[in-house]
Amino acid sequence: MTDRNREPMSSSAEDRKDRRQRERLAELTRSFKKDPRDFVQKVEQACPTGTPPATALLDAAVVLAEQDEFKPALALLDRAVVLYEARHDNAGLARVYVNMGPLYGMQGELEKGVSMSLKAEALAKALPADPEFTLHYASDLGGMYTEMEQWDKAMHYFQLACDTSKGMGNKELEADALLVMSQVAIAQGDAAKACDLAEKGGALGRTLHDRLFQARALQTIGDASALEGHHDRAVVLFQQALDLEADQPDLELRQQLFWEMSESYEEAGNEELAEDYRSRAADLDESDGDMDEVDDSEA
């Protein structure tokens, strides 16, 4: 008779140990709201043998962040800062700050998030070069400055992310950075720069046979056309982007294109098609909400 409770033969001892640690962390996290300090202390006391407490707290915070448990994660990171500072461990501090930045950003505390990521950048300058680390804080700062509508700073950090990706030979990340930068250029009102960046990103997309990169490039070129008042041309470009998106579905991009189609049709004086595409975009909001309800019911 098969023992259904027995661990599969392929499950290593290390996997089982990791799973037990995650289960223990989940148990402790449930006590966070009641007593945050006690939660942090218990996580610190439960760190695995041979692992420095600061490292264990950082690792636990990363796990919690992946589960959208942002406040408990930040509480652990705050404690990790104290421990790394006591050891004068700048490399450890940099790792903490680079994780704190986006967590504050995702909670809407953008200025604090930027402050943490800038601390990570400052510390990194005195440490051995680490392209992955640079990419981390550069992308985070670009994103947060974008939300703050500080376009020049956003462009600076996305350019750093782009250059770093290129140096790493990672064409996917390079293409993504170019296309994000093209949208920042649209926000700056620079249609020519937006088209130049989009064409470079789209060219990489073709090299990678990635239709979404190509669709995003056409989206930006359409935005640039609309910016210059060429709304009929913008509609054609948005439709071409939709055709590409259909082969590699991305509902967020599709909704953006529907909204942009509606705006261009409205500017062109075609209210009927403008309303049609507004309705399509709104329908995607509703369908996304339905999917969230299904996910919640299955959880």
- pLDDT, tens digit (0-9, with 9 covering 90-100), for 76-101: 999 999 999 999 999 999 999 999 99
Q: How far apart are CA 9 and CA 89, in angstroms?
A: 40
The answer to whether the beta carbons of residues 260 and 238 sit under 8 Å apart is: yes
Instruction: Tell me what the pLDDT averaged over the chain comes to.
Output: 90
Residues 6+ apart with CB under 8 A from 157: 138, 139, 141, 142, 145
The answer to whether the beta carbons of residues 96 and 85 sit under 8 Å apart is: no
- pLDDT, tens digit (0-9, with 9 covering 90-100), for 53-82: 999 999 999 999 999 999 999 999 999 999
Which sign, positive or negative, has the C-alpha torsion 250, 251, 256, 261?
Answer: positive
Q: How far apart are CA 79 and CA 96, in angstroms?
A: 10
Six-digit token string for 143: 């994103």
More confident residue, 23 or 84: 84
CA angle 177, 180, 183 (to 5 degrees): 150
Relative orientation angle of helices 211-227 and 171-187, to the nearest 10 degrees: 20
- Record the pTM: 0.86
Question: What does the CA dihedral 209, 210, 213, 219 come to, rounded to 10 degrees?
Answer: 90
- pLDDT, tens digit (0-9, with 9 covering 90-100), for 203-228: 999 999 999 999 999 999 999 999 99
CATH numbers and ranges of domains, the chain? 170-288 (1.25.40.10)
Q: How far apart are CA 47 and CA 58, in angstroms?
A: 11
Closest alpha carbon to 258 in 239, 277, 284, 286: 277
Per-residue pLDDT at 18: 65
